[in-house]
Structure 1
């Protein structure tokens, strides 16, 4: 790298300051990683429950590494590994009760790729028979596995990119790149050569490489570009080792990578899409770090480091050669560019490098260019916490929604079971599996969150059975429900209050509701709904600030989030009759307009805050406390209007309409149902309420 002049030092410091302002700082990188690892754990637990241990999940790429910004809006890179399949490299690794495949790397295979020879299940011997279209016999008689086996069928919401299926971004949700992989428990020979190559003082250190060696490798279903074996080659992935290397970088190195991605997005992707990938930029960064001393990477030298990486990238493109960092025989740029594309990219990179930083003023991503200008003109005060608070709030909100998404998937599966005994057994089995998996760290935290939701529904299902037969609640039910009271600020307690209301214990119900209202800080608490995809608006400012300041986000979730309150049909006796209508919202005419993601409509689901006010209204009605009753109905109407992130406003309006009917305000009730239909025109219980109300009004008129 060149000598650090006063100019480059000044620009570097200002650039570092701006990146800090948009959330690229050590605190936020660590927070992003910690929460994305929790996301990864939650999704793995869900897959383990649904597939009986057949799938592990890894969140890789920019979000998992903490190398993204709001403006970059990176997709989530999800790697699903099929644990019942096993790639071996030596016959001694063969294992019964698994589909074993022998990795083959010979002169016919592209560098960084392999073939998978299928082995018999009863003995460590080659398979002789070709049983389906995914098995292929080559010219020397080996039965090989085609990589098309793992190609997920695309839907209207997804697009295939190599081995990945891209689930396109929808309002309120980021996109997903999903890759299915097969685990390889031993590192391939070509990758092991990297482990053994070590020079004194060189990065990565020997200890880092030994850690990498202990991580799993995978093979993913894509062949070398232009290879004659493209359908039967499998790419070797060392993504977990690469993630570890990214975790070891300092903040300047991370900022350099983020700037490279911003440059890519601004200057190259617009003209040459699908040419240079962020993975190539990452590889160039790792090679650059390896070839320099570590103390060269600091805030004072950020511009020099960036230009150095861009120069390395420029030379790679000139030579059509960018070696994979761990398996250098794999050239990431082989057959990548046309002559025209190559010329455009080189011209763009040359312009950026020669500008000595001024080209960065053209970057609109995260308003980087205008923010840099502001540091020179001093037009705006530097407030680094603002965007970091917004990012922190988004991250914590995503965790809460991930838990709810997982629970919703499990509940939708359970709700299809008509046999109540089988349903209870399945719920109990899920709960025992999650409880057994609790240990230290991320897994303990994630399992605890899921266990509380499962405990709540198991307790409520038992209570529903008891209420139907005895109008009381058994001890087992109350023990299970007590375990989940602090699942968040409201939903667990609301479930308990609902059960007491349905058993006629009105005073106890009133005390629980009073406790919830005192805990529910309207300025802070965010409603959480993941029943379906809808546009989420920015979280409350106080919520974001608390999320930024927190180091224990899971404990924080219990006091600043409020999930939906859900009732399975087997829990019908635990919810008031006004809410039971929501379980039967779909007429025969409505059913064709439901999608596979609308199974939640078979449940009764309501946001916590409106349900709190509705239960208060019903409770105070029984207690004949008219002033409190009127305050409750007023609060119910007010929160429907003022809270933008409720997921079930139509249900809240239906409950409000029924309250209005009980107040003999039929016109107001009808308006509530009509507003409800404006929100959700089909599969809405409001249709039933309108028909019933109009029939009642017409009958009274005739009388």
Structure 2
């Protein structure tokens, strides 16, 4: 067995010293004639299905914004965390049909990971990395070290600690994951996959520990790469100071797998991915398509995206840069598969950065390796003809169609291939705004439930975000937080002004101009509502007219809390694009829900006060899930129904009866049209507004009908219960008067 293992090790070492492929002029002699034309066709098809330059860069920018957003959120909530999005979504190396998960790593900064005793820090939670008796590279144990002296902990005082046979107190990776499960349990159903403990579908969430000290395995990789054409020297310099992470994952064959932590150089891998040119990105995406469809039929889901990524790293390092051109895409795919064939023959996939790791361990059995080897050999010999059978995003059909000179109107996609990337762009913006709303409101709700006054709390958070914005490249994210927090601060002051008759009203109204850019409608509607509540009806009408001009038919509502089936359907975003395929809007075509917290009550129409106290008993409050607890003490309504309702109230106050009735009819028509349901997140509250219009008109039967429709959505925690009782009282009083 030892001789066999030595032979395998020699083969792997031989792989690491493979010469680069010949220069492009020499390599061209090995490429079939039709490969160049097919490469261009494949590249164009990938552009059309979401792997073009603009879409790749937009994905990266979006997910960098999202990780900045999540980090600021926890900073404002008093948590010392850094969020990182890794994987296909943040790299831009995916297309819709791959259904790639969202990978997020939560770096717990309150822990000091020691590689040597000299790294100990007083007052910190110190953990010493141990590797001595572990036979697996990349795996470590963590020993608990005292906070106030550089000595090992000798008693178990932490539920996450266990005692090793030698007497050492270890920080258990398994118990760390159990703690994650407890933290996330109220947010949703828990799913576990390797080091990930997640409460959200299609999300991999890993709580990890940062290693900010140099690691010898990383330095060995850097030394190996110095002087090569790739990775570039600047990347290697950055890799020397980039932190690695310890993720809670033991080796499947280890005696300590419940205590072990795995070193993961995620940031270095992301830097490597960000250095790819577009041909390399497309080559990687096609490898994942092959993995997802063709390989899955052979061996199931045992081949991973990370193995494909590793294949790309080695291929780029050993291939001359001049070959990575669009017209060589098919040839390069063959080269990658040839490397994979070599690995399957020796039974090992080496980790690109950390030596001695076999990525087949615990993933692919020997039988599956042999089966896959036969198929990879078949693919290479048949010049990848099976690409035409890949059905993800109709890749195979599109390849065949693009090879015909006269194909007429494309059958894939209602708006043609040109609009496909635009749909992805709108979806990315929608999801980013959705996450922003959740982040912002979690910060606000925490402050509303604290002992400090709302204005003091918001002022403190504004200062915190402002300081953060000085130290981050993505300044647009903290500025978005500042705009929204400032708008809330201003609105709370206005509500107090109305309650107390404070003459500072006009100055506060002028401050609204700094927050009108938060989205296309909600901030303006809050201004119109405030003006109406203060009795400035003509000014309120001017603002509503401005909203009407901006709120075109392509606007998509964004909520963040209520889930709407189908609101991510590609057709929804295709319909936001004009018939000419032009989605260049003067401002982002999204409208947030209009939210009033209780401290803003005097800026909201009285009917919405009931939603701020929608429960009738404490038992109802106990029924709320995690998300409902975040918004059910506020009044929230979709922007467009609220617009019509404000029109109804304002025209009524101005004595414009025909326009008032028209606004009411438009509100009823909007709520009753099934086509608008995709943009209605707070159906119950919108129905309350319509019911109140009928109530004002004296049509109590109509009011009862729409309050009853609201109760079909929620029979508890619904202000409609209050409205029904109120209308019943009014009717009883009227009957008494008539009698």
User: Please, what TM-score do these two structures have when normalized by structure 2?
Assistant: 0.87
CA deviation profile, 1:359-409 (whole Å, cap 9, x unmatched): 112211111111112123443557542110100010111121121111221
> Which residue pairs with 2:6 in the alignment?
none
- 1:211 CA displacement: 1.8
Q: In the alignment, is the contact (CA less than 8 A) between 1:320 and 1:334 conserved in 2?
A: no
Tell me the distance in 1 between the aligned counterparts of 2:290 and 2:594.
45
1:109, 1:233 within 8 Å by CA — same for their partners in 2?
Answer: no
1:105-504 alignment runs, 5 A limit: 105-151=131-177, 152-153=180-181, 155=185, 157-169=189-201, 175-198=202-225, 200-269=227-296, 272-377=299-404, 378-381=406-409, 383-417=416-450, 421-439=452-470, 442-470=473-501, 474=505, 477-478=508-509, 481-504=512-535
Distance 2:392 2:199 in 1: 22
Deviation at 1:678?
3.5
* Aligned CA distance change for structure 1 residues 91 and 653 (closer, same or farther; 3 Å): same
Tell which deviates more after alignment, 178-187 or 263-272. 263-272
Partner of 2:7: none
C-alpha distance in 2 between matches for 1:657 and 1:614: 10
SS of the residue corresponding to residue 256 of structure 2 reads coil
- Are the aligned partners of 1:437 and 1:443 in contact in 2 as well (CA < 8 Å)? no
Distance 1:429 1:199 in 2: 48
Matched, 1:565 2:597: no
- The question of whether the paired residues in 1 share the 8 Å contact of 2:610 and 2:719 is answered with yes
Q: In structure 2, do the counterparts of structure 1 residues 691 and 605 end up closer, same or farther at CA, with 3 Å as the change threshold?
A: same
- 1:561 Cα offset (Å): 2.0
Moved more, 363-372 or 629-638: 629-638
1:676 aligns with 2:705: no
Distance change (3 Å), C-alpha of 1:475 and 1:107: farther
Q: What is the deviation of 1:297?
A: 1.8
Q: Does 1:32 align with 2:59?
A: yes
Distance in 1 separating the partners of 2:514 and 2:57: 31
C-alpha contact (below 8 Å) 1:38/1:442 kept by paired residues: no
CA-to-partner distance for each residue in 1:499-534, whole Å, 9 max, x for gaps?
A: 2222222222222222222232x1332221112322
Q: In the TM superposition, what is the alpha-carbon distance from 1:213 to its structure 2 partner?
A: 1.8
Specify the SS of the correspondent of 1:71.
helix
Give 1:39-54 correspondences, 5 Å limit.
Answer: 39-50=66-77, 52-54=78-80
User: How much does 1:471 deviate?
Assistant: 6.5
Q: Which residue number corresponds to residue 650 of structure 1?
A: 684
Residues 132 and 97 from structure 1, CA distance in 2 versus in 1: closer, same or farther, beyond 3 angstroms?
Answer: closer
Q: Cα distance 1:9–1:686, how it changes in 2: closer, same or farther (>3 A)?
A: same
Match of 1:172 in 2: none
Check 1:484–1:96 CA distance in 2 against 1; reply closer, same or farther (3 A cut).
Answer: farther
Structure-2 residue corresponding to 1:688: 722
- 1:577 partnered with 2:606: yes
* SS of equivalent to 2:458: helix
Distance (Å, rounded) in 2 between the aligned partners of 1:346 and 1:309: 13
Q: SS at 1:22's partner residue?
A: helix
How many aligned positions are there?
689
Partners of 2:102 and 2:203 within 8 A in 1: yes
- 1:657-689 alpha-carbon deviations (Å, 9 max, x no partner): 111221233333333223333344443222333
Contact 1:393–1:544 under 8 Å retained in 2: no
Which has the larger displacement, 465-474 or 357-366? 465-474
1:387-432 CA distances to partner (integer Å, 9 max, x unpaired)?
A: 1010001011112112111122123323434x5x533322222122
CA displacement 1:568-604 (0-9 Å, x = unmatched):
1222222111111112223336445421221211110
Instruction: Tell me if the contact between 1:467 and 1:473 (Cα under 8 Å) persists in the aligned partners.
Output: no
Instruction: Name the residue aligned to 2:555.
Output: 525
Residues 596/15 of structure 1: CA separation in 2 closer, same or farther (3 Å cut): same
Tell me, yes or no, if the aligned pair for 1:393 and 1:545 is still in contact at 8 Å. no
Which residue is equivalent to 1:81? Answer: 107
CA distance in 2, matches of 1:192, 1:664: 79
Given the superposition, is the C-alpha separation of residues 549 and 280 from structure 1 closer, same or farther in structure 2, using an over 3 Å criterion?
farther
Runs of 4+ in 1 over 6 A off after TM superposition: 548-551
How far residue 449 of structure 1 moved from its aligned partner, in angstroms, is: 0.7
Q: Is the CA contact 1:408–1:531 (under 8 Å) kept in the aligned structure 2?
A: no
| Equivalence for 1:506 | 537
Q: How far apart, in 2, do the equivalents of 1:445 and 1:240 lie?
A: 22
CA distance in 2, matches of 1:218, 1:30: 25
Distance (whole Å) between structure 1 residues aligned to residue 448 and residue 160 of structure 2: 35
Is contact 1:411–1:568 with CA below 8 Å preserved after alignment?
A: no
RMSD: 2.6
CA contact (8 A) 1:37 1:442 kept: no
1:353, 1:533 → 2: CA distance?
Answer: 46
